[in-house]
Amino acid sequence: MCSAVRDRPAPYADAVPDPPLVLGIETSCDETGIGIVRGTTLLADAVASSVEEHARFGGVVPEVASRAHLEAMVPTVHRALDTAGVTLGDLDAVAVTAGPGLAGALLVGVAAAKAYSLALDLPLYGVNHLAAHVAVDVLEHGPLPEPCLAMLVSGGHSSLLLVEDVTATMSPLGATVDDAAGEAFDKVARLLGLGFPGGPAVDRLAKGGDRQAISFPRSMMRDDSYDVSFSGLKTAVARWVEARQAAGEHVPVADVCASFQEAVVDVLTGKAVRACRDQGIGTLLLGGGVAANSRLRSLAEQRCAAAGIALRVPRPGLCTDNGAMVAALGARLVAAGAAPSPLDLPADSAMDVRVVVSA
């Protein structure tokens, strides 16, 4: 090949910019998550968790979480930049979780994002935490087929969403009417003395138990809505354990974990698959901390395969709260030409799921 031709810049070189390099900041609960994404490529996912500071209280203490975010923010940003091999000057945009979440915890992330945006003269995107849980999947499995259905289950939320376009519209189809799924795992773990957070411990112990040993209730399983309820299940587990203890009988912890977990995942997968069928949607995405649950993943796989639905579940580290998910959504917003948020964007602890980015 003639070198003159080979060395000539491509005529479209200016018209096709590099995919945007985006910094994502997540502080809605107890994880200070900093992610760096170029387009749909994950370059860094640094997480500093304050979970151990909350363990003795059996749940996240908002003030403790806020202070921990404040201390972790700058070192975690630098760790992410080092891992990604980029500098602050290379960034094209900053994205931050604007809500929903703990007000004080969100404030730390939003204030930090505003500071980076102002100092570096970069567009700022205040994004919805739930949309970020959906967008993260593109980092692992490529472009998301839209519309799709997303079941997001964590300590703070249990939502079934119709995702028409994750950069613009998501519609709620159902949600928990009381406890979030992760909250139920945490409360049951607490009554069994398994520590906090309880989900991973229940998941681990359930592997050695019989999921049919105890028939716990499946609330709202047969009604027409896509809502779920876990408060009655949690109480049923507590009553069952108390009755055993009062009778001086041994509590088979592994069986309780397996049977409780089965009740939760039976309802979640049953409702999600029914919603896909009713809405004529061919793709189900799972996200949120509880999507790290091994039985939820395997039952969802089984039921989706039987119903001809494609299942997408990010790896466990991308299901729990992290900054990569915020950066992934930010990169999609930049690529879609979405308008940035104003610099006075608020931290919105009750941000509506239909709002993907603060205007």
User: What residues line the site for ligand KG4 (CB under 6 A)?
Assistant: 29, 154-156, 182, 185-186, 197-200, 203, 288-290, 292-293, 320-321
Q: Are 157 and 288 in contact (CB under 8 A)?
A: yes
* Shortest Å distance, C-beta 100 to ligand KG4: 9
* Shortest Å distance, C-beta 34 to Zn ion: 15
Residue 348 binding result from Zn ion, ligand KG4, none, given CB thresholds of 5 to 8 Å by partner type: none
Is 26 near Zn ion (CB under 5 A)? no
Here's the x/- map for Zn ion, 229-268, by CB under 5 A: it reads as ----------------------------------------
Q: What's the first-to-final CA gap in the chain, in angstroms?
A: 52
* Shortest Å distance, C-beta 332 to Zn ion: 18
Helix (H, G, I), strand (E, B) or coil at 125: strand
* Cα-based angle 127, 98, 271 (whole degrees, multiple of 5): 65
When the beta carbons of 21 and 68 are compared against Zn ion, the nearer one is 68
Residues within window 108-167 making contact with Zn ion, judged by CB under 5 A: 154
In sequence order, the β-bridge partners of residue 48 are 32
Is 183 near Zn ion (CB under 5 A)? no
Residues within window 300-339 making contact with Zn ion, judged by CB under 5 A: 321
**Residue-level length of the chain:** 359
Residue 355: closest CA among 80, 127, 55: 127
CA dist., res. 93 & res. 127, Å (int): 13
When the beta carbons of 27 and 358 are compared against ligand KG4, the nearer one is 27
- Burial of residue 14 (CB within 10 Å: 0-12, 13-18, 19+) is exposed
When the beta carbons of 209 and 287 are compared against Zn ion, the nearer one is 287
Residue 168: closest CA among 318, 350, 335: 335
Supply the DSSP symbol for 196.
S
Residue numbers of the site for Zn ion (CB under 5 A)? 154, 321
